[in-house]
Every structure is written in structure tokens, then in C-alpha cells.
Amino acid sequence: MRLKVTVAYNGANFVGWQRQSKGRTVQKTIEDIISVILNQPAEITSSGRTDSKVSALGQVFHFDSDLNIQPSQWQKALNAQLPEDIYIKNVCEVSDEFHARFNVISKRYDYCIQTGNYDVLSYPFVFQLNRALDLEKMRECAALFIGEHDFTSFNATPLEMIPYQIRTIKRLDIIDEGERVRLIFEGKGFLRYMVRMITQVLIEVGLNRLAKDDVILMFEENNKEACKLNAPPQGLTLVEVRYNDR
Amino acid sequence: MRLKVTVAYNGANFVGWQRQSKGRTVQKTIEDIISVILNQPAEITSSGRTDSKVSALGQVFHFDSDLNIQPSQWQKALNAQLPEDIYIKNVCEVSDEFHARFNVISKRYDYCIQTGNYDVLSYPFVFQLNRALDLEKMRECAALFIGEHDFTSFNATPLEMIPYQIRTIKRLDIIDEGERVRLIFEGKGFLRYMVRMITQVLIEVGLNRLAKDDVILMFEENNKEACKLNAPPQGLTLVEVRYNDR
């Protein structure tokens, strides 16, 4: 039986999703618990990794089980053993062809910025800029990123690794939430640091430290040296991963 | 010069406000930094202690300084050295007669309950009940607590220590915030665990596990055995302390 799992986690105390030799990771924490239940080493496959300090409200992964345990029982069993910074929101049975990474239709990432005073409660998951932003200027510039573009200048994936860096951003909304500003990104796929680099570009625009023409120039340069900006990971949350089945 | 300081802190990683032999406390963290600036042991006096895990958005303390440092400079100097879970919101000069504890006119505590699904982002400062509450029943019962009452049954301060346990609750609002419920308590002073005990009583009422008559009975019993309920500290935040001067 293949199981599709929707999981939320607070990135503050993780060095990221992906299992690695050092540091606490979301993948290892979950795999260790599933391995005990399955009584054999388990491997889970996510929609993609998230970086150190990045949170998720709707990350998705799949894994296989031969046990006679229903999806709802899996959810209860996992939540009973997981630490308080990971929570399984949903488990459902899917066909053996389902693949959490290859079948992704779109992902939504939110980037949250505290524009009001420093907030001791939200600093682990909201970037504490603590300065006002010119949202109109940011929105004008955000329009440059929407649609299909070559994002070579706005991500950290080496061209040797992925030569084709054209991606499509379906949505880039900038929402005024009073003391906070929320950037909503939707697209089929994002390259490494792409959301955070675009976010920091838009923050600089909102602070009047970059003009729209500067951003157009960065786009035209089309190289890895054009943009050295990167917003801190704390503000980023993977909110939703969409598949054909919903 | 006597300085009045308004401070916010995230209670998650503190064993409380008050300096003690073991564990990280807010008081010691702040005093250590002020001591270095003053170049002598500093003592700060707060409006009252907060328990382990309890947060504050508007705790107030005072201290004395002979240095020629202006209030706004104090704010910057302290915030530059404080860890990310403590933030100085305001510093102002007050008369030498001002006393952060004795001059309190009223305090506001909020208790936040997550009634929606478990939330990995807010669990350090919102109690994760993750069940729906009957707010109408809670409000009906909350009315019993408003005004001047003998709160002997609803606090953990021994009568040997404070024999006169009559207090006045000026406000007890229950606010529906969608996925959360917020209880707002205002009063001149609260006894130990008083807010959390009343909160847990109201939660039990909201879950239909206690009736209004049970609560009336607890009041009438007027003793320390009448109520053994106590909501977890995570949900509690000291929001504001009011003085004559504002």
C-alpha cells in the first residue's frame, strides 16, 4: 500500500528536511518512527527538500507499507510519537504510481515579513524586518516575475547542475496584514533559493533601495552574479503542494 | 535616574521571570546586561513574576541608573545585547517614587487556545486544545467571575501566605478568532495560577464537562480543594500593565 502524507513542521529547530550526517532533520525524525512501526528501515520521498529553518504547513511525502494499518491509524500512530514541532495533517492511500516529487502540479510558498515592531512570539517563523515597506512599488515589481521567465539570475542552482532555468510563477501576491506583509508564490517548481532571492529583491524595492529598472537589468544579465540578495529562511513556509488527485 | 521599561519575551525557553539558582530566567538575562553597562550589580523590579513558559508582550520593570544615558539609548543598548526572545519595547524616565509593583493599577493577561487543528507554528505560546468550545456556555460562566469575589477556590496561593483572597476581575472577554479562542482578563491583581485555573474551568465548561452549577459550587466551597484544574502555561501572555501615568 502506498501512502500519501501531508505534514506540517516548525523549521526553527531543524537543519532542513533532508536526512544528513549532522543535525536534526524532518526526514530522519519521521523515517525513524515509521521504521519502528514497519520493523524495517523506511524511506520517505517528499515533494522536495526544504532548507534549514524553513517551515511547512503542507509538505507532502509518500512511503510504502505492507502492514494492515489504515491511513487514519497511521496518522494517529505517527502523531502520538512525533515531537511537538512536527504534525501529520493527513494520510491517504494512493495508487502505486503516485510519486510525491514527480507528480507535483504546483507548490505554494508564503514568505512572511514583520514590518511592525519586533515580535518575540513570531521570530522563529516570520522575518523581523521591523520597517515599513512600500507595497505599491513591490507589487509593480512583482509583476516582472509572474509568468514564464529565465530565472538564472534569481536562484543559486549552478547551471552545470540544471542548465535549463526557465520556470513559471503562476501567482505572486503581496498581502498587507497590518503588522506583517505576506508574499504568496505559486508555481510548478522553484529552483534553490529562488523564492527567498526574489523576496529579498522585492524587500529592497519596498525599502526604496532598488528600482524597477535595477530588477529589469538583473533579469537581462541572466547570470549567477547579477543578484546576491537572499531573504533569511525563517520567513519561508511551504504552504501547499498540489497533485492531480485534488 | 529611575527608568521604567516595557519588555516583551517569549516564555518558551525560560523557567520564568524570577531569578533562581537553576535555569534561564528573564530577570537574570536582563540584569546581567544592565550590570555590565552600569559596571555594578543591577537589580530590576518587575510588576510581578510570570511562571515558567508564560510569555509577555508588555511586562514592566524599573531600575536606577546614575549614568548619563538617555532612555532611548538604553533601549538600543539593551536590545543590541539581548537574545532574540527578549525585546525592550520602551524605556522612559520616571520619578524616584515610581515602583513597578506597588503602583500597578491593572494588568491584562490573555489566554490563547487553539481550537482548530494542531498548529506547529504557535504551540510554544498557544495552548493546543484542538477541540471546539461552546463559547456561549463559557461566556455565561465567565460572568460569574467578573467583579469582586473571594477567589480562594481558584488560586494556588496558600491562605497562610495571603489570607485575604478577595480580588476584582474588571474584564473577562471571550473572543472567537476562528481557529483560536482568546480569553482576556483584566484586574488590579491576580493570585498564583488564578488566570490559568479560571481558564481551565471555562475550558471544561466549553467542552460540556462542567456545568454552571458546578462552578457556583466551587465558588461557595471557598477552599483550596474545590478546584484542581489548571490550564497549561504556554497559552498565557501578560499583555499590559497599567499605571497612573498613562
Q: How confident is the model at residue A5 (pLDDT cuts 50, 70, 90)?
A: very high
d(CA A3, CA B88): 48
How far apart, in Å, are the Cα atoms of A44 and each of A3, A4, A63, A90, A101? 10, 10, 5, 15, 11
CATH number at residue A185: 3.30.70.660
B235, burial (CB in 10 Å: exposed 0-12, middle 13-18, buried 19+):
buried
**Is residue A234 located within the same domain as residue A112?**
yes
d(CA B243, CA B98): 9
Q: How confident is the model at residue A165 (pLDDT cuts 50, 70, 90)?
A: very high
Mutate to test the interface with B, among A30, A86, A121, A180 (most CBs of B within 10 A): A121
CA angle B214–B215–B218, rounded 5-degree value: 90
pLDDT computed for residue A245 by the predictor = 63
Instruction: Choose the closest CB to B87 out of A57, A79, A118.
Output: A118
B41, burial (CB in 10 Å: exposed 0-12, middle 13-18, buried 19+):
exposed
**Is residue B191 located within the same domain as residue B112?**
yes
- Does the model's pTM come out above 0.90? yes
**Is residue B65 located within the same domain as residue B177?**
no
Q: What is the mean pLDDT of chain B?
A: 96
Q: Is residue A129 a part of any domain in this protein?
A: yes
Q: Is A117 part of the contact surface with chain B (CB cutoff 8 Å)? A: yes
**Is residue B44 located within the same domain as residue B145?**
no
Report residue B179: phi and psi, to 5°.
Answer: -80, -10
Q: What is the mean pLDDT of residues A12-31?
A: 96
pLDDT computed for residue B244 by the predictor = 82
Beta bridge partners of A87: A8
d(CA A231, CA A234): 9
Nearest to B202 by CA among B138, B126, B152: B138
**Is residue B133 located within the same domain as residue B172?**
yes
Q: What is the mean pLDDT of residues A44-59?
A: 97
**Is residue B86 located within the same domain as residue B113?**
no
pLDDT computed for residue A114 by the predictor = 98
Q: Is residue A36 a part of any domain in this protein?
A: yes
Q: Is residue B117 a part of any domain in this protein?
A: yes
Domain total in chain B: 2
**Is residue A205 located within the same domain as residue A134?**
yes
Residue percentage of chain A with pLDDT more than 70: 99
d(CA B229, CA B201): 6
Query: How many beta-carbon contacts under 8 Å exist across A and B?
Result: 48
Is the Cβ–Cβ distance between A52 and A83 less than 8 Å?
A: no
- Indicate whether A207 pLDDT > 60: yes
CATH number at residue B82: 3.30.70.580
- Indicate whether B240 pLDDT > 70: yes
**Is residue B20 located within the same domain as residue B83?**
yes
- Indicate whether B211 pLDDT > 90: yes
Q: Is residue B8 a part of any domain in this protein?
A: yes
**Is residue B238 located within the same domain as residue B161?**
yes
**Is residue B152 located within the same domain as residue B88?**
no
Q: Over the stretch A113-154, which tens digit does the pLDDT of each residue have?
A: 999 999 999 999 999 999 999 999 999 999 999 999 999 999
pLDDT computed for residue B245 by the predictor = 63
Q: Is residue A120 a part of any domain in this protein?
A: yes
A37, burial (CB in 10 Å: exposed 0-12, middle 13-18, buried 19+):
middle
Q: What is the domain range of residue A62?
A: 2-94
Is the Cβ–Cβ distance between A171 and A146 less than 8 Å?
A: yes
Nearest to A215 by CA among A146, A165, A141: A141
Q: Is residue B179 a part of any domain in this protein?
A: yes
**Length of chain A measured in residues:** 246
Instruction: Choose the closest CB to B120 out of A8, A117, A123.
Output: A8
pLDDT computed for residue A190 by the predictor = 95
**Is residue A229 located within the same domain as residue A162?**
yes
**Is residue A45 located within the same domain as residue A125?**
no
Q: Over the stretch B125-183, which tens digit does the pLDDT of each residue have?
A: 999 999 999 999 999 999 999 999 999 999 999 999 999 999 999 999 999 999 999 99
Residues of A in contact with B236 (CB under 8 A): none
Nearest to B108 by CA among B173, B164, B63, B158: B173
Of A54, A69, A94, the residue at which a domain comes to its end is A94
Q: Is residue A99 a part of any domain in this protein?
A: no
Q: Is residue A101 a part of any domain in this protein?
A: no
Of B46, B62, B94, the residue at which a domain comes to its end is B94
Instruction: Choose the closest CB to B125 out of A8, A117, A121.
Output: A121
A85 catalytically annotated:
no
- Indicate whether A69 pLDDT > 70: yes
Q: Is A179 part of the contact surface with chain B (CB cutoff 8 Å)? A: no
Residue carrying the nine cell digits 529579498 = A200
Q: What is the mean pLDDT of chain A?
A: 96
Of B94, B128, B163, the residue at which a domain comes to its end is B94
Q: Is A80 part of the contact surface with chain B (CB cutoff 8 Å)? A: no
Q: Over the stretch B61-85, which tens digit does the pLDDT of each residue have?
A: 999 999 999 999 999 999 999 999 9
